[in-house]
Amino acid sequence: MRTICVVTGTRADYGLLQWVMDGIRRDPMLRLQVVATGTHLSAEFGMTYREIEADGFSIDRKLDILTADDTPVGVTKAIGRGVIAFADAFAELKPDVVVLLGDRSEILAAATAALIAGHPLAHLHGGEITEGAFDDSIRHAVTKMSHLHFVAAEPYCHRVIQLGESPERVFLTGGLGVDTIRKTRLLDRAALEAALDFKLGKKNLLVTFHPVTLEKGTAPTQMAELLKALDGLTETNLILTLPNADTGSRELIRMIEDFAASRPHVRAYPSLGQLPYLSCLAQVDGVVGNSSSGLAEAPSFRKGTINIGERQRGRLKAASVIDCAPDCASIQAALKKLYSPEFQAGLADVRNPYGEGGASEKVVDTLKHYDLSGLTKKSFYDLQPCKAH
């Protein structure tokens, strides 16, 4: 029996990993281990490890590594705490493969500990680009630490190979978020309103805005511009989800909570949970902010996305995505376009660039059958050499 350890650090990556975890759990030749860390264990961010347990998964280790300090120093210290905690956890769990998704700081800590301990690493959603956040560099660093790669689209496949990874270890599976949408039985409008304790209106928007971590000091100003633009939507109900535990996120959380507190048509949530979140995507008119979900999942619902600023610059985008600058006037113009009859009519033909589903089954099948002997030794795969000048 092959033991597969899946690491999850946020509500977002668990939503993508859920069906990979389920496939591992159901396979008689595989044994699932789950390590929960990061914001999953934070009351401030909704204690979302409970959602994992509610879905029937046993959590083998809970690693509390966050600090109350979201400055660069605090985030760096959390990474250090994470390396120590993951080193102990992997020494006890002894997994055959460690599965990591994405690009967050806790994933870097887990990758470092697993690499040094000699555990093969399978990395999901590598090769992507988000030029506005330091997550971009973390993602590529984890790619170089990893031994198997599961990517969401063909350009990402080429990019992982360009980083020197052998093509035979890179698997084009499509996006995991599409699987989650296909496999989830969504709440209808009445059930969603009951789950949210919030009535939807004739117009509704789902809003998530994270700090742009490579633009030092800009996050509060950008959030103020976004809230100024949203403040004019008095006939639109707004569902705001709080940002991740990124550098500078707590100031944004205070701004969002203050904004929602004085407006009955606005409600803010630390975490909606996977089922209510996807159900919201099905019910709202569009998505506003800079979350990857607006690019990777919203197109499957044929909903428009207003993508603000630079955080997601470089990702593949469907025709349903409207890019705009992080200022009030640009956001207002994007909102006008979102609700325009011409744009709404075009959504019927939108296709998600991250595929049509089936990624989780492909990942589980490879984790089950790939020969692990000698996997931790890698040769750098060279492209054509540069010509001398």
pLDDT tens digits for 125-161?
999 998 878 889 999 999 999 999 999 999 999 999 9
pLDDT of residue 263: 95
pLDDT tens digits for 300-338?
999 999 999 998 988 999 999 999 999 999 999 999 999
The yes-or-no verdict on residue 88 having pLDDT over 80 is yes
Average pLDDT value for residue range 58-67: 94
Q: Bridge-partner residues for 151, per DSSP?
A: 172
pLDDT tens digits for 253-298?
999 999 999 999 999 998 888 899 999 999 999 999 999 999 999 9
- What is the Cα Rg of the chain in Å? 21
Structural domains of the chain in order of their starting residue, each with its CATH number: 2-174+358-369 (3.40.50.2000), 187-349 (3.40.50.2000)
pLDDT tens digits for 14-49?
989 999 999 999 999 999 999 999 989 988 888 989
Please report where in the chains the tokens 């030092």 appear, as a residue: 216
pLDDT of residue 211: 85
Cα–Cα distance, 138 to 144 (Å, whole number)? 10
Average pLDDT value for residue range 353-369: 94
Q: How many residues does the chain have?
A: 389
Please report where in the chains the tokens 């009859």 appear, as a residue: 341
Q: Which of 97-111, 150-164, 375-389 has the lowest mean pLDDT?
A: 375-389
pLDDT of residue 105: 92
The yes-or-no verdict on residue 214 having pLDDT over 80 is no
pLDDT of residue 135: 87
- Please check whether residue 129 is in contact with residue 85, taking contact to mean a CB–CB distance below 8 angstroms: no
pLDDT of residue 201: 95
**Dihedral sign of CA atoms 335, 185, 175, 17 in order:** positive
Cα–Cα distance, 324 to 275 (Å, whole number)? 29
Q: Bridge-partner residues for 285, per DSSP?
A: none
pLDDT of residue 356: 85
The yes-or-no verdict on residue 217 having pLDDT over 90 is no
Cα–Cα distance, 151 to 170 (Å, whole number)? 7
- The neighbour count for residue 385, using CB atoms within 10 Å, is 6
Cα–Cα distance, 292 to 101 (Å, whole number)? 13
Considering only CA atoms, which of 150, 171, 141 is closest in space to residue 17?
150
Cα–Cα distance, 261 to 15 (Å, whole number)? 28
Q: Bridge-partner residues for 133, per DSSP?
A: none
- Please check whether residue 219 is in contact with residue 54, taking contact to mean a CB–CB distance below 8 angstroms: no
Cα–Cα distance, 236 to 234 (Å, whole number)? 6
Say if residue 322 is exposed, middle or buried (CB neighbours under 10 Å; 0-12, 13-18, 19+): buried
Concatenating the DSSP letter of every residue in 287-325 gives EEES-THHHHTGGGGT-EEEEESSTTTTS---TTEEEE-
Alpha-helical segments (H) within the chain: 11-26, 49-54, 72-93, 105-117, 135-145, 154-162, 176-183, 189-196, 219-231, 249-261, 274-283, 293-296, 328-338, 341-346, 359-369
Which tokens in the block code for residue 332? 């207002």
Average pLDDT value for residue range 242-258: 87
Q: What is the pTM of this model?
A: 0.85
Of residues 116 and 211, the one with the higher pLDDT is: 116
Cα–Cα distance, 29 to 293 (Å, whole number)? 33
The yes-or-no verdict on residue 108 having pLDDT over 80 is yes
Cα 27 to its chain centre, rounded Å, is 26
The yes-or-no verdict on residue 113 having pLDDT over 90 is yes
pLDDT tens digits for 162-210?
999 999 999 999 999 999 999 999 999 999 999 999 999 999 999 999 9
Binned at pLDDT 50, 70 and 90, residue 373 comes out as very high
Binned at pLDDT 50, 70 and 90, residue 357 comes out as confident
The yes-or-no verdict on residue 11 having pLDDT over 90 is no
Please report where in the chains the tokens 């979350």 appear, as a residue: 291
Say if residue 309 is exposed, middle or buried (CB neighbours under 10 Å; 0-12, 13-18, 19+): buried
